[in-house]
Chains A and B, each alone.
Chain A
Amino acid sequence: MEAETQAHDDDKPAAHGNGDDHGDAGETSTDGGDTELHGLLAEFETPGALIAAARKVKNAGYTEFDCYSPFPVHGIDDAMGIKRTKLPLVVFGGGLAGLCGGLLLQWWMNAYNWPWNVSGKPTWSLPANIPIAYETTILLSVLTTFFGMWAANKLPQVWHPFFRLDRFAKVTDDGMFIGIEASDQRFELEQTKQLLVAAGATHVEECHTDARPEARSVPRAIYGVMIVLTVAALIPFALAFKARASKSSDPHWHVFSDMDFQPKAKSDQPFAEFADGRANRGEIVGTIARGNLRADDAYYRGLRDGQWITELPAAFKVDADKLNRGQERYNVYCAPCHGFDGAGHGIVPERVALRGGAWEARNLVSSDSVVIKMPNGQLFNTISNGFNTMMGYAAQVPVDDRWAILLYVRALQRGQNATQAELPAGAQVR
């Protein structure tokens, strides 16, 4: 079998003039002598012959050699002495990282950083987190396998010296080759060639690489393209940076409208479809919205039979909480002008005075103030609807709170106009 295959390569194409018997450099790679020997490439007829030859090459002590075939030849690993790959161990590590990472991800996001309460169930419950941990385990194992394999195989490497030999194109079709590299310590051109022929090669060819520096440098056009691409890749970042650093009065881009623009009229907008041209619709005549009846004249308007009431309305229940509430609301809404004591020296008049202006805020508490004599109903009406430059507070302060404020104003008046005799024992001013 091997004796037969030692015959000369008689079907080689005309272009491959130098066969094993000439022993010269392959013509595919000679270029005015500026070449470097990469190694020898020997072709074999069958997978069996390849295995036998690989064993001989290995036994001869070579280490820098490889077999090339269109499909994995089973039995070659043993013949070449290829050690079992450690890839499975690496993949195990990847899978473990996927499992731990998947669990950590879910725990950190759903149980720690933002505990997610679903019907009062525990925030961390392993069974519901298994499916995703399972998938991340597989995903990371797969990624490790895929990229680990290519990295271990030193691929992608789109160019290899053997690709210079036309004959080597058969390696993905029907060709079986052994390539011994010149870098091997035992490599002696003639002896190695003899060994390959003796091992059953039908064709042995030298592989040269171009040693000229310009043949090994990357063409300028490729550098140019890379520079252009690199600069182009920075443009989006530059635009984003410009947007962050500058101001613009243009509205945002609405790629997706997200129901922001709807064919409907909003309140206080013109609307041609209605006779009055307004989008707002008033209350329908003869109807009152639920909760808006407000039939209690005393409570809502401070009136009885068209006269201001002097007492408090029956619907307003007086107690200490109401008084405290009134104080709190008064300090929010009234004190800025009328002052915390009600004497009309709030921060606003003072500040206006500092700037040379005049801002009269009524003194609510002095004994000659009109406010003291005002009936409760009228004071409530002033709080609600305003007076002179004072605006009404009906829009901001609910009815009950307005009565509470009134109550507090009455307390201020009473307190600041009290006589010594009226003070409780021990509290008199000496």
Chain B
Amino acid sequence: MASASEAHADDHGHGAENARETFRGITHDVTKVNLTPIGRWWYPAFGISLLLLGMLVVAVTHLFRTGIGIWGNNNIQGWAWDITNFVFWVGIGHAGTLISAVLYLFRQDWRTSINRSAEAMTIFAVACAGIFPILHTGRPWFAWWMIPHPNDMGMWPQFRSPLMWDVFAISTYATTSILFWYMGMVPDLATLRDKSKDKVRQVVYGLLSLGWRGSARQWHRYERAYLILAALSTPLVLSVHSVVSFDFATSQNPGWHTTILPPYFVAGAIFSGFAMVMTLMLPLRHVLGLKHIITQDHIHAMCKVTVATGTIVGGAYAIELFTAWYSGNLYEWFTFRNRILGPYAWAYFIMVSCNVIAPQFFWVKKFRSNLVFVWILCAFINVGMWFERFVIIVSSLARQALPGAWGYFEPTKWDFMTLAGSFGLFGTLFLLFVRFAPVVAMAEVKAVSPAAHAGKDDH
């Protein structure tokens, strides 16, 4: 039903039938993804994701049975790909919250077409991130000791450790993201309930939509709650990646012990997250036939956010270098020279070219309109942001103050399987979401469309 976009364009909300046509068009276009057989592309995509997920299960089973010695980690490289993957996935999640919460507070109505899927991306990315700190502890079956609970050992967590801050920040973030996402989805799940023809869907969507009936008195509280959640998520998202950066910044390690880390990490998180949103959205709007809902304008907007945050990240790299030199601290300056000239120079230059140079193309409208090119650049940014965390973690540990404790990290096949497997987990969850949940916030899109003002005297 291509009429939706046309109705957007020509209707200024005064023709009653046109307005209803617009609403029906949005409902139809979004619910058909869930209620009609999905395109053939979905099955191979889901199959590959499941295969990768299976690989993760194998890798994790072997890890639990044997220990973290199966990875390339060792006494020198106590943290390597495990924590790199953790920071990478948490960062990915942040764009979703930024889109759903921060842009909502700034009344950026264009967000409504992408916020649902971006929020889903957040939750699944946090799920991927959450497994790594647990895996890297070696004995993950004691991870529950980090939850403060009375126990016969008389033992409490050490709350002044940044690693405990992490536990609280990530679990609060996961909880908030899931509740925010689910709450936003309830009116749309009700739409699916009412549009479903078979009994199973009606019951499942009926239970999930909690009996939502679109009452004005309920909408009133709902909108207020949505605004509050947005206002709470905004400081939360800033705190989460700041706390993640504290894992490094509060240590004494040269290359980690800097105050720039929190804002630098937050900017990088938003940057990588937007790149990931586009990596997912560009193919999705194509295969799901949502090009009139997720339009070129949205892509322009996302590209602009990406180039802005990418440039901030580039600035952070420069300031970090300058500070290391200007501090006059021997070890600090050595660490940064070592990043550029040392054994991990290759990783440093992948990071700089992907994160600083690649996004600069987004200044030009012509490049932003070439979607294949945009997708490729976003893929590069995803790679670059993974390498940023790799450079920070691995190159700083490989050359600590004593030359006797120098080393070089060599990943094993289990490292590769765990990383690839985490993409499998993400892909599986995301494809299930696309198949069974409303991918676009229908109620919100309707509410910001001009048709929402149809028949109003003051319009």
Contact = CB atoms under 8 A, between A and B. Distances in A.
Contact of B193 (A50, A69, A145, A172): A172
B221 interface: yes
The B interface is mostly helix, strand or loop, or mixed, namely helix
A163 B213 contact: yes
Contacts of B455: 1, 45-50, 52
A162 to B, nearest CB: 7
B326 to A, nearest CB: 27
B224 interface: yes
Interface string B433-445: 0000000001110
B432 interface: no
Interface in B133-185: 139, 141, 148, 154-160, 162, 164-165, 168-169, 172, 175-176, 179-180, 183
Contact of B160 (A129, A148, A157): A129
B191 A172 contact: yes
Contacts of A233: none
A73 B452 contact: yes
A170 B194 CA distance: 8
Interface in A336-381: none
B183 A54 contact: no
A97 B219 CA distance: 27
A28 B303 CA distance: 52
Contacts of B218: 153, 155
B225 interface: yes
Given A91-B228, A135-B169, A149 B222 contact: yes
Given A48-B459, A85-B220, A173-B191, A256 B141 contact: yes
Nearest to A111: B159
Given A46-B16, A68-B216, A71-B443, A109 B221 contact: no
A71 B228 CA distance: 18
B24 A85 contact: no
Contacts of A195: none
Q: How large is the interface on B (under 10, 10 to 19, 20 to 34, 35 or more residues)?
A: 35 or more
Contacts of A80: 216-217
A52 B459 CA distance: 13
A71 B444 contact: yes
Contacts of B355: none
Contacts of B1: none
A116 interface: yes
Max chain B C-beta neighbours (<10 A), residue from A52, A85, A114, A129: A85
A67 B16 CA distance: 18
A87 B180 CA distance: 16
Interface residues of A, number: 77
A289 to B, nearest CB: 29
Interface in B204-231: 206-207, 210-225, 228-229
A256 B193 contact: no
A392 interface: no
B154 A114 contact: yes
A168 B213 CA distance: 9
Contact of A172 (B180, B194, B207, B246): B194
Contact of A139 (B155, B165, B176, B446): B176
Interface in A146-184: 146, 148-150, 152-153, 155-160, 162-163, 168-174
B210 A155 contact: yes
Max chain B C-beta neighbours (<10 A), residue from A67, A80, A129, A149: A149
B186 to A, nearest CB: 8
A221 interface: no
Given A46-B16, A46-B455, A69 B236 contact: no
Given A48-B457, A131-B239, A142-B179, A77 B220 contact: yes
A259 to B, nearest CB: 9
A391 interface: no
Contacts of A255: 141
A152 B221 contact: yes
Contacts of B268: none
Contacts of B168: 131-132, 135-136, 139
Nearest to A140: B172
A142 B454 contact: no
Max chain B C-beta neighbours (<10 A), residue from A141, A142, A160: A142
B50 interface: no
Contacts of A91: 228
A105 B167 CA distance: 15
Given A77-B216, A129-B159, A173 B221 contact: no
B221 A87 contact: yes
A46 B19 contact: yes
A173 B195 contact: yes
Interface in B42-62: none
B176 A138 contact: yes
Contacts of B180: 142
A54 B220 CA distance: 15
A104 to B, nearest CB: 11
A5 interface: yes
Given A87-B221, A131-B243, A135-B168, A49 B16 contact: yes
B447 interface: yes
B283 interface: no
Max chain A C-beta neighbours (<10 A), residue from B155, B175, B446: B446
Interface in B224-267: 224-225, 228-229, 232, 235-236, 239, 243, 246
Interface in A1-42: 1, 4-5
B286 interface: no
Contacts of B452: 47, 71, 73-74
Contact of A67 (B19, B216, B444): B216
B27 interface: yes
B199 interface: no
B225 A146 contact: yes
Contacts of B155: 114
A48 B456 contact: yes
Given A159-B211, A172-B193, A145 B24 contact: no
Given A49-B455, A70-B214, A139-B175, A174 B222 contact: no
B453 interface: yes
A66 interface: yes
A75 B458 CA distance: 10
Interface string B266-283: 000000000000000000
Contact of A138 (B154, B160, B172): B172
A61 interface: no
A128 B210 contact: no
Interface of A: 1, 4-5, 45-52, 54, 66-77, 80, 82, 84-85, 87-88, 91, 105-106, 109-110, 113-114, 116, 118, 125, 128-129, 131-132, 134-136, 138-139, 141-143, 145-146, 148-150, 152-153, 155-160, 162-163, 168-174, 255-256, 258
7 contacts: A52-B457, A66-B217, A71-B214, A72-B219, A88-B228, A150-B210, A256-B64
Given A70-B446, A118-B158, 11 more contacts: A45-B455, A47-B453, A72-B216, A74-B447, A77-B216, A80-B216, A105-B159, A109-B148, A114-B156, A132-B164, A157-B210
Of all A-B residue pairs in the complex, the 7 with the closest CB atoms, nearest first, are A48-B455, A46-B455, A156-B210, A149-B225, A174-B23, A109-B156, A48-B456
Interface of B: 16-17, 19-20, 23-24, 27, 64, 139, 141, 148, 154-160, 162, 164-165, 168-169, 172, 175-176, 179-180, 183, 187, 190-191, 193-195, 206-207, 210-225, 228-229, 232, 235-236, 239, 243, 246, 442-444, 446-447, 452-459
